[in-house]
Each structure stands twice: as structure tokens, then as C-alpha cells.
Structure 1
């Protein structure tokens, strides 16, 4: 059977049952539960501190009504980070490499920010479609362009996350396959490619964390325009 590098992005199936739900549930199982004691252990203390720092940094530019999204944004970022990092382990599956899943996350959240803007400040929300001081002849063209850029935002969110993770996984698999082949042919070159593979894996871990942060950060910026 010919090797297909894209097989790793297919949804896992066991006895004809898709395991996508299991892949989406596993990250939440790994998080430590809050302790009823007065003092938390080191792991919980570090986790709470990181969440506090991230939430403060994310919500500082937002107005007070936008702070209601703190729990949603923080949970979404932790969820995406966990999915992305767990997908780097052997014999695992990365749900965030599926464009359908990323669109299912991006479209409702983006649409909620747009609806909030149209409900609370419709004049300002519609004003984003036409920059101030536009010449009259360019008004129809700019309205169409700004409308398209507004509607394409959720697609850009989903494609950015999908493309970065897919490209990283493919590159890791290509270099790993080359390293295994070169071990029997040219061991010194195989050692060099193994070093590159190790560095690329560290880079992919950073990409997994950064892409989850960027996804939520862009959503917060969209919310900032509408609150």
C-alpha cells in the first residue's frame, strides 16, 4: 500500500464509530480539578497564575461589557492549546487540523460579536463599512470591499489555524520518514536530520500555543470593535 501523508488528518474510527468526540473530550480530563483546601498545590497555583495573567492581558483593551467574555475566551484558549499539543504525541489525532471544526468555532463567535455591535451601537458598527473622508465615487466600492472583508473574517480564522497545524505536521512526518531511511544509508546525515526534527518539534509546540492565542486574540479584537 502506498504511503499517504494525509492519512494522519483523517478522523479516527473504531468499529465504524468516529472518535472525534473522544478527541475533543480528552483535553478536559487532563486538567487538574480545583482543590477544596485553602492552599493549592504547585501545579494548580501555576495554572491559576498563568490564566490570570492571560485574562488580564486579553481583557485590558476591552470595555466593561466585553469582560463578560472572559470565561469563554480563557476556556477556548486552553481548549485549543490542549488539542494542538496533544496532537503532537504519537498515535494521536489533532481535531484542529479539520477545517470544519475550526469553522464551527469561528463562525458562531464572530457572528456573536457582529450581532452585539449591531444591537448595542448600530451606527458605529455600520460605520466600519465606510471609512471617514471617503470620496463619493469610491463609496459603493469601499462598502463592498469592507463587507467582504467582514464576512471573510471567520474563514481567515479557521484557515489560519488549520493551515499552520497541517503544514507543521506534514513537515514533521516528512523529516521523520527521511531520517528513518537515511539511518541505514548515511548515518551522519541521519543524525543531522534527527537534530533538525527535534528542533522542528520544539518549534511546532510553540506554533501550537501561539496559534491558539492568536485565534482568541483576534476574536477579542473583533469584540473590541463592537462593544
Structure 2
């Protein structure tokens, strides 16, 4: 067992050097790529899933917004595969690091906002002051809307970090309880192990759902600014 609950979230090192970048690049090597004219079943399923997600996510976008399809699909594949990487034994989940999630959220949010100010200046500025606002409330509403705008990347990063970290901690605690109960009460240990399996299945779903939610919110930010 680990020394403490949060030791599994520390960045791993090799010969004193952090290997987080190598771990982040590892899932992308696992995706199959077609190397012949006729695809196999795995590549066909992968292409079908990508087309299904892209069709659902880009249905709300205009022609200018649909030019971001490659970036959105790359983002959801990267986050989903990185989340699933943490479910392997003795592995490290990069998306449990708030710094990494902020490094993804801030540039994507800033890019969407800058696009909005470039192509839809009046509409972007109109978000700061809703129509029909009483004059005494104008300064307060401008401040509130400004804060809500700048809090968006923080909300993106914290949501992803909190959900992945909470699931991993719950699995860690349940696994530790199952090991401790083996010598005390075998029936209780079996029940705890069944709960652990169910939690692992739930965490598998959460890893994919959080990748979809993160990408969907980025897509909505782009939709509001394109």
C-alpha cells in the first residue's frame, strides 16, 4: 500500500527526472492507425465513435465553428485516454494535476474569447450588460459578468481535477478496506471487493464522461464566440 492517500498523485520520476511528459504521450501511441487499404474492426469502431461524437458536438456550430473539429476531437481523445490511463495498476493520472488542467483550459478559453472579440465585438461586449438593466445596477452587473467570464477556465480545470481525484481516492480507500477485512471478516471483504469492482466500472464511465464534458464546454465557448 502507499504511504498516504495522495502519494499516488505525485509526479513520478526516473533517475531524479520527472517523466510526466512521457506518461502523457504514452496513450497516443496506443491508438491504432490504418496502414493498409482495408481497415480492421478496431480501426472501424474507432472511426465510427469519432464520427458519432464529432457529429453530435459540432451540430450546433456554424461553418466557422466547424473548422475547430480537429482540435475538439484531439482534445476529447487526449483527455479520455489520459483519464483511463490512471485506472491501470501502479500508474499515474496526469489529469489529477490542477496545473495541467489549467494549462489546457486557459489557452482554449482565451482563444475562444479572443475570437469572439475579433469577429463578434458587439455581441461579446453585450454579454457584460444585459438589455434592460436598470442604471444603478450597471456597474455591479459589469463586475459580476467580468468575474463570471474569468472564472470559466478555473471551473473547467477544477471540475476535471475534482472528479478524477475523488474517484481515485474512493477506489484507494475501498481497496485498502478490502485488504484490511480479509483477516478480520472474509464475507465483509468479499462484499467490499464487489463494491470495489463496481466503483472501478463507475470510474471508467466517469473518465469518459469528464472528457466529454470538458470538450463540450470548450465547444460551447467556441459556439458563443463564432
* Alignment of 1:13 onto 2:16: no
Alignment of 1:129-140 (within 5 A): 129-140=128-139
Quote the residue 1:197 is aligned against: 196
Identify unmatched segments of 5+ residues in structure 2. none
Q: Matched residues in 2 for 1:83 and 1:132: separation?
A: 43
Residue 165 of structure 1: CA displacement?
0.5
Q: 1:2 to 1:74 in 2, by over 3 A?
A: closer
Residue 2 of structure 1: CA displacement?
8.5
Q: Matched residues in 1 for 2:105 and 2:67: separation?
A: 18
Q: Secondary structure at the match of 2:60?
A: coil
Which deviations, in whole Å up to 9, do the C-alpha atoms of 1:144-169 show, x marking residues without a partner?
00100000000000000000000100
Q: TM-score, length-normalised on structure 1?
A: 0.98
Alignment of 1:119-134 (within 5 A): 119-134=118-133
Q: Secondary structure at the match of 2:182?
A: helix
- Contact 2:175/2:196 (CA < 8 Å) preserved in 1? yes
Q: Matched residues in 2 for 1:2 and 1:61: separation?
A: 46
Which deviations, in whole Å up to 9, do the C-alpha atoms of 1:82-109 show, x marking residues without a partner?
0001111101100000000000000000
* Aligned-pair Cα RMSD in Å: 1.1
Which deviations, in whole Å up to 9, do the C-alpha atoms of 1:96-145 show, x marking residues without a partner?
00000000000000000000000001000111111111111111111100
Q: 1:12 to 1:192 in 2, by over 3 A?
A: same
Q: Matched residues in 1 for 2:186 and 2:129: separation?
A: 62
Identify unmatched segments of 5+ residues in structure 1. none
Residue 183 of structure 1: CA displacement?
0.6
Residue 33 of structure 1: CA displacement?
1.3
Q: Matched residues in 2 for 1:41 and 1:108: separation?
A: 36
* Alignment of 1:31 onto 2:28: no
Alignment of 1:94-173 (within 5 A): 94-173=93-172
Quote the residue 1:53 is aligned against: 52
Q: Matched residues in 2 for 1:20 and 1:157: separation?
A: 21
Residue 36 of structure 1: CA displacement?
2.9
Compare 127-136 and 43-52 and name the one that shifted more: 127-136
Q: Matched residues in 2 for 1:20 and 1:185: separation?
A: 39
Q: Matched residues in 2 for 1:130 and 1:74: separation?
A: 33
